[in-house]
């Protein structure tokens, strides 16, 4: 049984709850256990994962958050830099499913977060588990 850490940026609580529900369902259906760690925003997710890799005893990670476009350039920075940092960690061999959804509006976010609809939380968890399998197949 693998230990999976879900790291969530708790900015849109109602949307995160749906993403986490989907992620937990996928992890538990695969026979693994999940724990949730909350950070302030999407930019803090990669740093929290990096810290947890060093001493947390987790086998894989799921990044959960919602970034909705606003009136400023901040959206592009948060969306791009969080994805870039997660990809950098993944390229270092850390199995991470990226469930940070980036949308134009809340309606799009609701559709993607809902486990009964697009279930992006569940998809991110499945991606993390698939990468975990690859790390076991190709150990470093």
Q: Is residue 74 among the annotated active site residues?
A: yes
Selecting among 41, 74, 87, 93, the annotated active-site residue is 74
b/e burial code for range 9-41 (CB count within 10 A of at least 16 → b): bbbbeebbebbbbbbbbbbeeeebebebbebee
Nearest alpha-carbon partner for 101 in 89, 110, 90: 110
For residue 48, what are its two tokens? 């929290």
Question: Which residues are known catalytic residues?
Answer: 74
């Amino acid at each position: 049984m693998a230990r999976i850490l879900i790291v969530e940026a708790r900015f849109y609580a109602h949307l995160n709850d749906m993403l986490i529900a989907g992620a937990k369902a996928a992890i538990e259906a695969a026979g693994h256990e999940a724990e949730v760690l909350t950070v302030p925003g999407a930019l803090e997710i990669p740093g929290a994962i990096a810290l947890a890799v060093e001493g947390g005893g987790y086998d894989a990670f799921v990044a959960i958050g919602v970034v909705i476009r606003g009136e400023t350039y901040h959206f592009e920075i948060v969306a791009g830099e969080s994805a870039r940092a997660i990809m950098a960690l993944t390229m270092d061999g850390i199995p991470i499913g990226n469930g940070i959804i980036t949308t134009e509006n809340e309606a799009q976010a609701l559709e993607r977060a809902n486990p009964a609809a697009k279930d992006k939380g569940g998809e991110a968890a499945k991606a993390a588990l698939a990468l975990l399998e690859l790390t076991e197949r190709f150990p470093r």
